[in-house]
Structure formats: C-alpha cells, structure tokens
Amino acid sequence: MSSALPIKTYTKEAEVAVQAVLRACHVTKSVQDTLKVDDKVSKPDKSPVTIGDLAAQALITLHLQNAFPEDKIVGEEDTTELRKNDGLRNKVVGLVNEGFAKGKLGKESEGIWGEGESFSEDSVLTALDLGSHTGGPTGRSWTIDPIDGTLGFLRKEQYAVCLALIVDGIVQLGVLACPNLGTTAVTDSQTGVLFLAKKNEGGWMRSLKDDAKWEKTTIPEHPTPLRFLESVESGHSAHSVQARIGELLGVQEGTSLRMDSQAKYGALGRGEGGCYLRIPTKYIGGKDYQEKIWDHASGSLLISESGGVVSDMHGAPLDFSRGRTLSANEGIVAAASGVHAKAVESVKKAIEEFGKKV
Ligand SMILES: Nc1ncnc2c1ncn2[C@@H]1O[C@H](COP(=O)(O)O)[C@@H](O)[C@H]1OP(=O)(O)O
Ligand SMILES: [Mg+2]
Ligand SMILES: [Mg+2]
Ligand SMILES: [Mg+2]
C-alpha cells in the first residue's frame, strides 16, 4: 500500500487517483525508454500522440470507472487514431494490461484494485471514449492529461501524468507525477516526483519510489535568486515577451528554467524559480490558442495550496467551469505570493511594448 495520504477529505478519491497515476507512470516510463517510430502518430491538429498517451489515459479511466462509476471524464485523448490503426490499437491494449500485471508496480500495488486483471480491446476503447465529456459548471468530473508535454516525452526530457477532480467547476484534488524530475532539484540523480494537492488542505510531494514519505510543498514569499519557468517550445508561449517580463522583474539574464509540461508547476510548487509565465504567442504574431483544463488543473491547485498565486496573464482567476478549455482566461502567471502582483504588472507593460512592435 502507498504510504498514508496526508489529506482529510476526498481520501478515497486521492487513493484511487494516486494508484491510477502510479500505474500510468510505470507504463509511460517503459514506453519512453523503448519508443519506436510507428508508436507515434499525428492528431488532426498536428500534435503528436503515442501509445503511451493512449494507454495511460485508458488505464487511469479504468480505475476511475471502477471506483466512481457516476463521475464524468474530460480526457485529452480519444479513439480516433486507434480505430483506424490495428497495430497501434494492439500495442495500446497490451500496454494497458501490462500496467495491471501482477507484481509490476512492486509492493505499492499489492492488494490494490485491478492487479492481475486483464481488459479486452472493447473495454479499453470504451474507457478512452468516456473522456469526451464537455466539462462545465456542475457535477463531478475528472480531467486527465495522460502525458502532458508529449514533445518533451519524445525528446526523453520532462513530461507529466496529470489527473484532477473538479467539483462544480472548482478543482478540489490534483495529482501530478513527473517521472523525470529530480527529487531535490530539476535534474539530479534521483528522479521521479509525485505531487498531490487538496483544496484548502495543502500541497505535498514524495519520491515516485515505493512508500516514500509525503512532504509539504511551500513556495517562499520571495524566492532567491528569482528565475522564471517557461515552456521549451517557442510555439507554446512567447519567449521574447517572457524575457522582457523577466527583465522588468529583475530576473538575471539567462537564468530561465525551461522545461516541458506541468513539471513547471511542480518545480515552482516546491520553491524553485519563483514565477511561471505562459504568454500566448498571438501577442507576437502567432495563432490564437485556448488553454485546456487538463494542462492546468493539477498544477494550479498545487501552486495555490503551496502559498503561491495563480491567475491568467491579466490577473483574473482561472475558471475551470467553462468546459474543456479555459475560455474565460488568456495566458498564465503563476508565482510566489511576493512576486505575483509585480509579475502581472510587468506582463501588461511588456505586452504594451510588444504591441507597438508587432
Ligand atoms: N499554441 C499553443 N499555446 C500554448 N500551449 C499549447 C499550444 N499548442 C499546444 N499547446 C499545449 O501545451 C502543452 C505543453 O506545454 P509546455 O510547452 O508547457 O510543455 C501541451 O498540452 C500542448 O497541447 P497538445 O497536447 O495539444 O500538444
Ligand atoms: Mg498537455
Ligand atoms: Mg497530453
Ligand atoms: Mg497532446
């Protein structure tokens, strides 16, 4: 069994979520180590999806379906690619069952639901299709990003397995696993960190290893040195605007921490960096883009529960009640409490400057 969870409410939900995410990490890690060219395809929006993304979402959904059959699922992936590609489908079904294989997860999975069970192709496809819920302001729904940062995953760098519970539009519980993140610093020899956040109770982290102890996550009011965290991909956020915001905040030149996925929220949540910036590229002539709820639900709760502040780039709270996207928001600023207000102010100034240039 996993070491006792540090929270007092939603304990069954957290227990199931942690188990599901641990199993998904086991699968994604083995896929990342052995990925072949035809284990990856492009989705209609041209973004990549791998057998790891699809297997992890199916596996997490099977856990949720078993424990909370009434709950809705808002998942990033669907069965479009699997239904037209036999090879991909067979591999995904095989991986899901490998994730449940007896003894695969070590002692943490002993006595936990699903160990040794086998799932048919039909149940795997049905589980994936459950992820098409529209989200919205009422009821309970889980949002899944089975591999966040697929581009980082393909580069064998950072990625995250993300699962959050949203109740009546509010994120109540967030689980964020970062299999390639160092346990004490972004890169160190001991990799693999699991983060957990519960609304109004706090944020915690532990190593991904068996039975590791949970430690509280805290963000100092003024982290020093102040650095900012941003995407590796220049198509996902406006690096040039962010560099200017960094200057305005007094960040030393060349000290931004670039990494893929919600691992950025994990690093910030345990006090690294001090400010995560995600300024849309449309401000420098890029395409319009709406952020998805599964890309921010777990991470944003971790920040607010660790003493930090999260908003959109204009300072407005993130609104998870609008459906599958954060359609009421634009960009993200997540920062230490002593940095956030100045960061939002600096965003405004930098955008004005760039507006004159574009
Ligand atoms: N133009 C864009 N602006 C912001 N985020 C994007 C954009 N295109 C894709 N993404 C999403 O950014 C996330 C990764 O963020 P990061 O750069 O911080 O690692 C992915 O979930 C990815 O979605 P997708 O899964 O559809 O590729
Ligand atoms: Mg994502
Ligand atoms: Mg993803
Ligand atoms: Mg994706």
The confidence score (pLDDT) of residue 109 equals 66
User: Are the CB atoms for 18 and 194 separated by under 8 Å?
Assistant: yes
Task: Taking each helix axis as running N to C, give the angle between helix 86-100 and helix 121-129, from 0 to 180 degrees, rounded to the nearest 10.
Answer: 90
**Any idea what DSSP says for residue 214?**
P
Q: Are strands 140-148 and 160-167 parallel, antiparallel or unpaired?
A: antiparallel
Strand partners, 49: 41
Of the pLDDT bands very low, low, confident and very high (cuts 50, 70, 90), residue 103 is confident
The confidence score (pLDDT) of residue 261 equals 98
Among 22-26, 183-187, 245-249, 302-306, name the one with the lowest average pLDDT. Answer: 183-187
Task: Give residue-wise pLDDT tens across range 262-282.
Answer: 999 999 999 999 999 999 999
147 is in an annotated binding site: yes
| CATH architecture assigned to 227-357 | 3-Layer(aba) Sandwich (3.40)
The confidence score (pLDDT) of residue 328 equals 98
Of the pLDDT bands very low, low, confident and very high (cuts 50, 70, 90), residue 255 is confident
Strand partners, 202: 198
Ligand 1: list residues with CB < 6 Å: 47, 148-150, 152, 231, 233, 235-236, 260-261, 281, 289, 295
Whether the complex's predicted ipTM is more than 0.90 is answered with: yes
The confidence score (pLDDT) of residue 358 equals 54
Q: Ligand 4 centre and the CA of 89: distance in Å?
A: 18
Considering the domain 11-216 in this protein, what is its CATH number? 3.30.540.10
148 is in an annotated binding site: yes
**Any idea what DSSP says for residue 63?**
H
Q: Which atom of ligand 1 is nearest to the CA of 292?
A: 21
Q: How far is residue 80's CA from residue 190's CA, in Å, rounded to a whole number?
A: 37
The confidence score (pLDDT) of residue 1 equals 45
Domain boundaries, the chain: 11-216, 227-357
Q: How far is residue 13's CA from residue 291's CA, in Å, rounded to a whole number?
A: 25
DSSP 271-326: TSSEEEEE--GGGGT----PPBGGGTHHHHHHHHHTTEEEE-TTSPPP-TTSSSB-
Instruction: Confirm whether pTM is higher than 0.95.
Output: yes
Confirm whether 53 is a catalytic residue.
yes
Burial status of residue 354 (CB atoms within 10 A of its CB: 0-12, 13-18, 19 or more): middle
Q: How far is residue 259's CA from residue 280's CA, in Å, rounded to a whole number?
A: 17
What are the tokens at 180?
A: 């390639």
Across the chain, mean pLDDT equals 95
The confidence score (pLDDT) of residue 195 equals 98
Does the structure show a pLDDT above 70 at 69?
Answer: yes
Of all residues in the chain, what percent carry a pLDDT higher than 90? 90
Of all residues in the chain, what percent carry a pLDDT higher than 70? 97
Q: For the beta carbon of residue 266, count every other beta carbon within 10 angstroms.
A: 29
Of the pLDDT bands very low, low, confident and very high (cuts 50, 70, 90), residue 151 is very high
For residue 225, say if its preceding peptide bond is cis, omega within 30 degrees of 0: yes
Q: Which of 143, 150, 217, 281 is catalytic?
A: 150
Among 47-61, 106-120, 170-184, name the one with the lowest average pLDDT. Answer: 106-120
Task: Give residue-wise pLDDT tens across range 11-51.
Answer: 999 999 999 999 999 999 999 999 999 999 999 999 999 99
The confidence score (pLDDT) of residue 2 equals 52
Instruction: Tell me which residue has its CA closest to atom 7 in ligand 1.
Output: 236
